[in-house]
Structure 1
Amino acid sequence: MSEQRTPHSPGPRAWLGLLVVLGPVLLVSMDGSILYLAMPRVTRDLAPNADQALWILDIYGFAVGSLLIAFGTIGDRYGRLKLLMSGATVFGLASAGSAYAPNADLLIACRALMGVAGATLLPSALAVLSELFRDPRRRGQAVGIFAAAFAAGFAIGPVAGGILLERYWWGSVFLINLPVMALFLIFAPVLLREVRTTRSGRIDPLSVVASATGLLGVVYGLKYAAAQGISLLPALVALGGTVLLALFVRRQRHLDHPLLDFTLFRDRVFTVAIITGLLPLAAWSAAAYLSGVYLQSVLDLPVLEAALLALPGAAVLTATCVVTPLVVDRIGKRPTLLICHFSIAAGLLLLLPATTTGGVGWYIASTAIAGLGYGISFSVVADTAVGAVPAERAGSAGAIAETSNEIGNALGIALIGSLAALLFRLQGPDLAPTLDETLDLPGLTAPMADAAKSAFVTGLRVAVAVAGLLHVALGLLTLRRLPGAASRAGVSGPPGHLARTRRPPRRRVHGCRRGREHGA
């Protein structure tokens, strides 16, 4: 069927609305990674301790990830456009506060507020797009562009940060948010319509508090142990966080309108896809942060050169995200997921030969090969999550996918980054908790500087080896748990089908269904 004969073909206003929405989406994802190359400058200007430095990096991701599903429900109930406008305003103000923060504590607070605002933007933006594009084929294209913009933001964040840092101070990486949010506030009321669902459940405050507090408690305990060693209070905080998360899981199973619908995870494809949203982002964020420090502080490269070295990987990631739906249509989800996990593992392991005197070539090869897998992960997760549920639950499923991305981004810094910090503390000269702090010490001798750099490289190698082996394990799990026929169908049957039944997929019926969905 041609586009002209489709009852709900989108007009120019819909595509302009998509363009307006992509601005905040790009910024929300960029701000999860834009500080990676800026951290050495932040460290010199604000002098954060090791614990504060990690919180500056990952408080944003935890705030976004822990509140995405809650704000999805709030948008359903009170209006998604209204929530988008409020979130864009707060995001802009918090960005200005971050840019001019005079100390580490205020920067952490402003980054947390940016994360809260970012959590209002992503699920509501996706829901608004679903309203703009009623035709299934065009809606699929719009969601694909949405996912590509989200992926591109993660990829180009360090590059944009490096280019700005070449000319301006570190706060400039936040000021670029202001004009984009201003344009959104001007054009969004004109191009976007208010969207509410008629059957939204009430918001459960206990679930919101338990999930966010529990996650932050667990990560705080792990980070403190890595940076300072095991002590009683952080261990108790981590234990309390674990208990809260367990209570959160139990509570969701008894609520009529849970924040996190665990019945979706009965489907193997959905489960593997969500794990694919979490683990690759954890590996990517940790590798990007550690590599940024490696290029600047170990190899002494200028920040702009370090940023430009990331461009090949960013280009591969973004292009892969765009073409992945075509690849899935041709070979199925199972082979695509296998390519995803094994290419990430191979890319990460290519960092192992890096030394204190050279490793630029290994870094470029690593980001390019791993970028193939990262791009697949973004696209497959978004498509699988939205396709697994009925239309009225697409926002919730999309929020789960975005939550896995954001939590993975933060966990990469908190856990894998903390592993590298622990090894630096154990193997280094024990003069300061981080490499940059050590290199800035007055009177540091050349042998001590070399020892600090060597310890950092050891931590980098162990961190990427662990992340690479985890992806090998996830690839083997995909090979074992996803049957070939079902994985080619991806999510067969009507939306929400896999959460309720186990009817064997029928290739012929599935092919007809895909043809109808894509306007064939």
Structure 2
Amino acid sequence: MRTNRAWLGLTLLMLPTLLVAMDMTALILALPHLSADLGASAVQQLWISDSYGLMVAGMVITMGTLGDRIGRRRLLLTGASAFAVLSVVAAFSVNPLMLIVVRALLGIAGATLAPSTLALITNMFHDDRSRGRAIAIWATCQFTGGAVGPVLAGFLLQHFWWGSVFLAAVPAMVLLAVAGRFVLPEFRGSRAGRLDPASVGLSLAAVLLMVYGIKQLTVAHAVAVPVATLAIGAGLGVVFVRRQLRLPAPLLDLRLFRSRPFTAVLIALVFAGLAMAGVGLLVTQYLQGVLGHGPMAAAILFAPMGLGVAVGTMTAPTLTRRMKQPTAIAGGLALSAVGGLLLTVVHGAGTLPILMIAIAVLAFGAGPLFALGTGLVIGSVSPERAGSAASMSETGNYFGGSLGLGLLGAAAAVVYRAHAHGTSDSLAAALAASSRQGATQASATLDTARAAFTASLHVTGLVAAVIFAALSVVVFVMRPAESRSQSQPESQSQSQSQSQSQPESQPEPQPEEPARTSTETAVPEPVAASH
């Protein structure tokens, strides 16, 4: 009975995970439509796109720890309700400023979802195999949603107005808010203390400034302001770290980094996100700017990347039956390196199949890292700190994506300018210039720009291959320590979970002795229902 309820709860958690991921990527396709309708300037468009992600990145640490302290189900259902209401408000925004503010508030609500969902999965599934499969399904929903998002947006925008893109997530959030109270168990730490406002402010300011600085490096002509923003953010980050090391109940438990598997996998998650974001940026521009496909066609041609990660995450638990987890992760990363190398031979429309195979292979190889690696991060800690660990994983993903867009985007721009020989600063500028030129001159301009951008894609693929190969080595070197106690971090923490914490859905009473030493308690149903 308890197992059936756990899988029913996972089914419920899959819906918002899938649709929120779709909502995030769908906005990219909807942006031109809503900008034209609302009269958004270029700067306002940037903030409409970035305000959500910035607030998620800045608040996910706070929300992960807050869920551990006040109750993970309580926080999740509150966030889902807020997300549904704010999505409706966003759909009917009347000016750019209103949409920017609502998107930022949506980011705060969105920051409650991923860490709470991951922490609840940890508590709902007590054996390693079921928990690993559940986390793989969760990761699959994220990446499948990201791949399907632009396609859904294309369909909605063809039949409805741009606000329908925001409304797509509302039904799932309403269902979660209503049914979650009856299906999902509640967990919170019995020693939950108050949040430290100074730590919350420091973490928010540090993450916002650093992520914003990285993003601005990709679009700003002058680097002084982005570099200064990064420096201030890094300085605040140092202050935050020192404060966490002094506090008896820190917002973020940095002692988790004493675990080699935890640290190595978290580093791999960051840099894999960096490589995939950089490749994604270049490939989508290549499909549209070089090969000339429209947004809808480009979204479909780019879908193998998201679907590749989805398939990789789903097959990861099966791999662990034949090999150890670090071996599966390292092997997958090596395969991703091959995908990166395939991008270096892409040239023109004739090699489009190679491009699609390359991004599919690169993404498929990363699947075991996102599925098994996330499980290792969550399983390396005791159950009452699962939300904090989940927030670290999510923050790492956001940092990796932002770094990929910033660093690999900047590197690609340098390569482009070197091969364009001063004819244009970017592919977009070359396309705009060609529309004002005669046929012969326009053809020459486009040929040069497309060749230069293809060179940028080749360099990006090579850099991604190097990153994945290096990560494969790092994880493989970690293997001896992991192999001596395969799955021990997870099994030990899970045995602690079974002896220290029982979900409210547990039909049979448990011995009282472990409960008296628990650092986490299950909330009785009448108490949870009153929230």
With the shorter chain as reference, the TM-score category is 0.7 to 0.9
The answer for the alignment partner of 1:476 in structure 2 is: 473
The answer for the alignment partner of 1:335 in structure 2 is: 327
1:458-473 equivalences under 5 Å are 458-473=455-470
Cα contact 1:252–1:258 (8 A) shared by 2: yes
The answer for the alignment partner of 2:116 in structure 1 is: 124
Kindly indicate whether residue 270 of structure 2 is the aligned counterpart of residue 278 of structure 1: yes
Give the C-alpha shift of residue 389 in structure 1: 1.6
Offset from partner CA, 1:132-155 (integer Å, 9 cap, x none):
445666455434433332343334
Give the C-alpha shift of residue 345 in structure 1: 2.0
The structure-2 alpha-carbon separation of the partners of 1:167 and 1:489, relative to structure 1 and needing over 3 Å to count, comes to same
The structure-2 alpha-carbon separation of the partners of 1:208 and 1:199, relative to structure 1 and needing over 3 Å to count, comes to same
Kindly indicate whether residue 69 of structure 2 is the aligned counterpart of residue 77 of structure 1: yes
In structure 2, what is the Cα distance between the partners aligned to 1:431 and 1:112? 39
Cα contact 2:284–2:302 (8 A) shared by 1: no
SS of 1:156's partner is: helix
Give the C-alpha shift of residue 101 in structure 1: 5.3
2:346 maps to a residue whose letter is A
2:376 maps to a residue whose letter is T
In structure 2, what is the Cα distance between the partners aligned to 1:421 and 1:161? 29
In structure 2, what is the Cα distance between the partners aligned to 1:433 and 1:39? 24
Give the C-alpha shift of residue 437 in structure 1: 6.3
Q: Out of 201, 205, 212, which is 1:209 matched to? A: 201
Q: Out of 4, 10, 21, which is 2:2 matched to? A: 10
In structure 2, what is the Cα distance between the partners aligned to 1:235 and 1:94? 33
Give the C-alpha shift of residue 222 in structure 1: 3.9
Cα contact 2:136–2:316 (8 A) shared by 1: no
In structure 1, what is the Cα distance between the partners aligned to 2:34 and 2:99? 10
The structure-2 alpha-carbon separation of the partners of 1:286 and 1:34, relative to structure 1 and needing over 3 Å to count, comes to farther
In structure 2, what is the Cα distance between the partners aligned to 1:347 and 1:170? 35
Cα contact 2:265–2:475 (8 A) shared by 1: no
SS of 1:330's partner is: coil
1:489 maps to a residue whose letter is Q
Offset from partner CA, 1:326-355 (integer Å, 9 cap, x none):
312421123212222222222123222334
More divergent stretch after superposition (20-29 vs 427-436): 427-436
The structure-2 alpha-carbon separation of the partners of 1:316 and 1:467, relative to structure 1 and needing over 3 Å to count, comes to closer
Offset from partner CA, 1:414-448 (integer Å, 9 cap, x none):
33234435555676698997644663569532244
In structure 1, what is the Cα distance between the partners aligned to 2:312 and 2:143? 10
1:368 maps to a residue whose letter is A
2:184 maps to a residue whose letter is L
In structure 2, what is the Cα distance between the partners aligned to 1:206 and 1:68? 16
The answer for the alignment partner of 2:314 in structure 1 is: 322
The answer for the alignment partner of 1:3 in structure 2 is: none
Q: Out of 273, 295, 304, which is 1:303 matched to? A: 295
Q: Provide the TM-score with structure 1 as the length reference.
A: 0.81
Unaligned runs of 5+ in 2: 495-531
Q: Out of 445, 454, 468, which is 1:457 matched to? A: 454
Q: CA RMSD in A?
A: 3.5
1:184-195 equivalences under 5 Å are 184-195=176-187
The structure-2 alpha-carbon separation of the partners of 1:11 and 1:369, relative to structure 1 and needing over 3 Å to count, comes to closer
More divergent stretch after superposition (272-281 vs 58-67): 58-67
1:27-46 equivalences under 5 Å are 27-36=19-28
In structure 2, what is the Cα distance between the partners aligned to 1:23 and 1:257? 34
Give the C-alpha shift of residue 379 in structure 1: 0.7
More divergent stretch after superposition (379-388 vs 488-497): 488-497
Cα contact 1:60–1:111 (8 A) shared by 2: yes
In structure 2, what is the Cα distance between the partners aligned to 1:48 and 1:460? 31
Q: Out of 228, 231, 250, which is 1:258 matched to? A: 250
In structure 2, what is the Cα distance between the partners aligned to 1:270 and 1:296? 39
Cα contact 1:151–1:375 (8 A) shared by 2: no
SS of 1:489's partner is: coil
Q: Out of 139, 144, 149, which is 1:147 matched to? A: 139
1:343-492 equivalences under 5 Å are 343-355=335-347, 357-421=349-413, 435-436=427-428, 439-440=431-432, 443-445=435-437, 446=442, 447-483=444-480, 486=483, 489-492=486-489
Kindly indicate whether residue 111 of structure 2 is the aligned counterpart of residue 114 of structure 1: no
Aligned residues with identical type, % of pairs: 36
In structure 1, what is the Cα distance between the partners aligned to 2:197 and 2:268? 29
In structure 2, what is the Cα distance between the partners aligned to 1:486 and 1:48? 55
Unaligned runs of 5+ in 1: 1-8, 498-520
The structure-2 alpha-carbon separation of the partners of 1:225 and 1:484, relative to structure 1 and needing over 3 Å to count, comes to closer
In structure 2, what is the Cα distance between the partners aligned to 1:23 and 1:245? 34
Cα contact 1:332–1:488 (8 A) shared by 2: no
Cα contact 1:278–1:404 (8 A) shared by 2: yes
Q: Provide the TM-score with structure 2 as the length reference.
A: 0.80
The answer for the alignment partner of 1:512 in structure 2 is: none
The answer for the alignment partner of 1:180 in structure 2 is: 172
Give the C-alpha shift of residue 369 in structure 1: 0.6
More divergent stretch after superposition (384-393 vs 445-454): 445-454
More divergent stretch after superposition (39-48 vs 93-102): 39-48
Give the C-alpha shift of residue 11 in structure 1: 5.4
Cα contact 1:73–1:201 (8 A) shared by 2: no
2:461 maps to a residue whose letter is V
The structure-2 alpha-carbon separation of the partners of 1:480 and 1:124, relative to structure 1 and needing over 3 Å to count, comes to closer
The answer for the alignment partner of 1:288 in structure 2 is: 280
In structure 1, what is the Cα distance between the partners aligned to 2:455 and 2:160? 32
SS of 1:196's partner is: strand
Give the C-alpha shift of residue 118 in structure 1: 1.1
More divergent stretch after superposition (14-23 vs 135-144): 135-144
More divergent stretch after superposition (128-137 vs 196-205): 128-137
The answer for the alignment partner of 1:6 in structure 2 is: none
Kindly indicate whether residue 154 of structure 2 is the aligned counterpart of residue 157 of structure 1: no
1:475 maps to a residue whose letter is S
In structure 2, what is the Cα distance between the partners aligned to 1:172 and 1:418? 34
The structure-2 alpha-carbon separation of the partners of 1:76 and 1:428, relative to structure 1 and needing over 3 Å to count, comes to same
In structure 2, what is the Cα distance between the partners aligned to 1:169 and 1:435? 30
More divergent stretch after superposition (45-54 vs 361-370): 45-54
SS of 2:343's partner is: coil
SS of 2:320's partner is: helix
In structure 1, what is the Cα distance between the partners aligned to 2:341 and 2:94? 39
1:362 maps to a residue whose letter is I
In structure 2, what is the Cα distance between the partners aligned to 1:190 and 1:433? 57
